[in-house]
Amino acid sequence: MDRPFTPSPNATRPLPARLFDLLDQEEAQYRRLLEILQAEQTALLAMSMEGVIKTSKQKESQLLKIRLLDDSLQELARGLARPGQDGPVTLSGLAAAAGGDEGDRLRRHRRALLAAKDEIVQQNGLNKRFIEDTLGYLGDAIAILTTPAAPPSVYGQRGRVRTAAQTPTRISREV
């Protein structure tokens, strides 16, 4: 997945401070997304529909911020690459090309971002499984309550079996 990074001829100078500022911001945005996912879990456990809707909107907004930051990082990194190099520039490629303290700093950012992404994937997976399980339980409960009290089919003309349109149920199907 990591593409080899070929620095531009003037790459011997230090990396721009803006690159590290954007990386710091991206780490903070990922931490904020993790906080939102934890708040979503709390809302799910409390069965708070308002809380789930609120966190869904926050997640959408947060993901947009992260996407914009990532685009800015890519644009800045492409400016450091040789002209004509296409595709995304990775942090590991930048770190290998930078070397020294800057390379170590980029590797630390990469590790922090990967760890944050892993935590986000785990938390999101937990929330998703909780939602799926809850929907399954609700579906089962509704199926139990709405199953016909009598056999679901009746005999029609010429001995054919047809589905009963108005069979009695435990609860009314009308809303």
Residue 85 to residue 9: CA distance in whole angstroms: 13
**Which carries the bigger pLDDT value, residue 7 or residue 85?**
85
Decide if pLDDT at 158 tops 60: yes
Average pLDDT score over residue span 36-56: 95
Q: Give the phi and the psi of residue 71 in degrees, each rounded to 5.
A: -60, -40
| End-to-end Cα distance, the chain | 53
| Residue matched to tokens 């904020």 | 32
Decide if pLDDT at 1 tops 50: no
- Half-sphere exposure for 31 (CA within 13 Å, toward CB): 7
Tokens of 158: 């010429």
Ranges of beta strands (E only) in 22-168 are: 153-155, 161-163
Tokens of 117: 């992404």
Residue 49 to residue 154: CA distance in whole angstroms: 41
pLDDT of res. 50: 95
Residue 59 to residue 32: CA distance in whole angstroms: 9
**Which residues are paired to 148 by β-bridges?**
169
Residue 77 to residue 12: CA distance in whole angstroms: 15
H-assigned helices in the chain: 17-45, 49-80, 91-98, 100-146
Q: What is the pLDDT of residues 6-39, one digit of tens each?
A: 444 444 457 888 999 999 999 999 999 999 999 9
Contact of 66 with 26, CB cutoff 8 Å? yes
Q: What is the pTM of this model?
A: 0.72
CB atoms within 10 A of CB 31: 14
Q: What is the pLDDT of residues 86-143, one digit of tens each?
A: 677 788 888 887 878 888 999 999 999 999 999 999 999 999 999 999 999 988 888 8
